[in-house]
Structure 1
Amino acid sequence: MKSIYSKISLVLCITSSLYSYAWGLTGHRIIAEIAENHLSGKAKREIRKMMGQERLAYWANWPDFIKSDTTGTWKQASAWHYVNIDPQTDFKAFEQNLKAQAGPNLYSQIKTLSAQIKDEKTAEKDRKIALIFLIHMVGDLTQPLHTGRSEDLGGNKINVTYFGDKTNLHSVWDGKLVDSQKYSYTEYAKLLDIKSKEEVAQIQSGTLENWLYDSHLIANKIYAQTPEGSKLSYEYQYKFNDTMERQLLYGGLRLAKVLNDLF
């Protein structure tokens, strides 16, 4: 396996073809920045040993950047960013459907990456790559349409306009709602990360399955209120901005929980 630095150099040469895949650059950095603020002392030390001095936000978008890699090195990783599930009647039905999914997906890969990081036999370079993917993918799970429906590819096939520009529902949630607020990722992280210790503990409670179901329920609401051909603008921002901000905050706090538990 080539060093991660060689692969990053390759990616930097081809980012001109980069498209938004999940939360966008700003969203993933917000999540990573919030997570960094809630790391335990031990987790911070262990992560620094693996990653160097860069903050989590520095690495947060790398798993999306490599989708532009034309060598095929990371082709298998495309399916790791989402898990498509039709609307379920309750949590039990959702959990059964989730565990029955074939092939690697967001759910199974978060578990796999966590196990690789935890395993002392994993080579250091592979643990680092696994950690970079995990930082990104725990963020992905709070983008509701990454728990969307297979027939429309998580909203990618639902055409809408956003302030008059043609786009799709998935892209609106990946970045357009976030970027419309015009904050830097550090500004947005500071604005959102204001919960009490008790509130943080509540948000971090539950299982990976619970967290995915939480996003799935929100996805169902988004689908119901954003049909094909919707013309989205200020009213849509007003309706869903609080939900978008909730998901960014929850992503950061839950990523911190995952990393603290690992280390």
Structure 2
Amino acid sequence: MRYALAAALLVSAAHSTPAMAWGAIGHRITGAIAQDNLSGVARANVEILLGNEDLAEAATWPDDMRSDPSEFWQKTASPWHYVTVAGDDYQASDEPKEGDADAALKRFTATLRDSKASADDKRLALRFIVHIIGDLHQPLHAGGGTDRGGNDVKVTWFGKPTNLHTVWDSSMIEQRQLSYSEYAHWLERATTPEEVVTWSVRDLQVWMHESIALRKTIYPANPALSYDYAYQHRGEIDQRLKMAGVRIAAYLNWVFETPDDGGKTAKRR
């Protein structure tokens, strides 16, 4: 059974590339950085909802669940990992009828701040919030609508056929040959207190504007990618991971410290 589940996860991942951002390592990095930047109130609320599960683990859950055959995971939740932006900034007209990451984040934020929502609904909302904020910092998840976020841009990575989306999701991160905890520690050590203050912006428009601007600079002239491309963009990918982690924490600190229910924490059920 365990091996069958693992195989199903691999098949699901292979067929769901357009909806995934940052590989498992990237998402865990952002979650680990966020965990270290939570306020006391936010940390307590996260523990009430998730128990021993930390934000590094929670960050990958919406992708892990894509193996579930239910309509919710196979259809409803699929568009919540990205936005498609026609211009330089996200507009209300960019949101499709089925929703997107922007709409989902607002929906799940409302759930997490709703004193009447069940613990299960809040748990789902928390895991998606952590994941979606990470997604919105991957530049190809603010796509222009012409190439499925770089999935249709065929390249080679050190001679192996792949696509530009995968290079940014995981290939450049995995090239560093670090565990997610090592990578997160390195990034946190290189982050100054001033940067944490500056980056603690909860405005989705700012996050998306940054990703759109970066996305426009990362399409290669030569599809044969290797050391030169990795060196050129390493600093950018590291910064997006750091910013995502800081902003996940800032967002959750705000959600839990100024809730709509007058400051009550989540209740165990």
Q: CA deviation at 1:13?
A: 7.4
Does 2:81 correspond to 1:81? yes
Structure 1 residue runs without a partner (length 5+):
1-9, 89-93
Comparing 25-34 with 115-124, greater Cα deviation is found at 115-124
Deviations 1:81-105 (A, max 9, x none): 00011342xxxxx14x255423310
Give the counterpart letter for 2:86 in structure 1: D
The 1:11–1:69 alpha-carbon spacing in structure 2 relative to 1, beyond 3 Å, is: farther
In 1, Cα distance between the equivalents of 2:165 and 2:124?
26
Q: Where do residues 189-200 of structure 1 align in structure 2 (5 Å cutoff)?
A: 189-194=184-189, 195-200=191-196
Residue 256 (structure 1) aligns with: 249
RMSD of the alignment, in Å?
1.7
Q: CA deviation at 1:147?
A: 0.2
TM-score, normalised to structure 1, is: 0.88
In 1, Cα distance between the equivalents of 2:27 and 2:172?
13
Identity %: 36
In 1, Cα distance between the equivalents of 2:251 and 2:29?
17
Does 2:95 correspond to 1:101? yes
In 2, Cα distance between the equivalents of 1:28 and 1:258?
16
Give the counterpart letter for 1:35 in structure 2: A
SS of match in other structure, 1:156: coil
TM-score, normalised to structure 2, is: 0.86
Does 2:210 correspond to 1:211? no
The 1:116–1:69 alpha-carbon spacing in structure 2 relative to 1, beyond 3 Å, is: same
In 2, are the aligned partners of 1:11 and 1:66 still within 8 Å (CA)? Answer: no
Q: CA deviation at 1:198?
A: 2.1
Task: Count the aligned residue pairs.
Answer: 245
Structure 2 residue runs without a partner (length 5+):
257-269
Give the counterpart letter for 1:135 in structure 2: V
Residue 52 (structure 1) aligns with: 51
Question: Between Structure 1 and Structure 2, which shows a larger proportion of helix residues?
Answer: 1
Deviations 1:188-218 (A, max 9, x none): 1110013232220101136111111111100
The 1:13–1:51 alpha-carbon spacing in structure 2 relative to 1, beyond 3 Å, is: farther
Q: CA deviation at 1:14?
A: 2.7
In 1, Cα distance between the equivalents of 2:40 and 2:25?
26
Q: Where do residues 21-170 of structure 1 align in structure 2 (5 Å cutoff)?
A: 21-74=20-73, 75-88=75-88, 94-95=89-90, 97-98=91-92, 100-103=94-97, 104-170=99-165
In 1, Cα distance between the equivalents of 2:202 and 2:109?
17
In 1, are the aligned partners of 2:140 and 2:149 still within 8 Å (CA)? Answer: yes
Q: CA deviation at 1:18?
A: 3.8
In 1, are the aligned partners of 2:154 and 2:164 still within 8 Å (CA)? Answer: yes
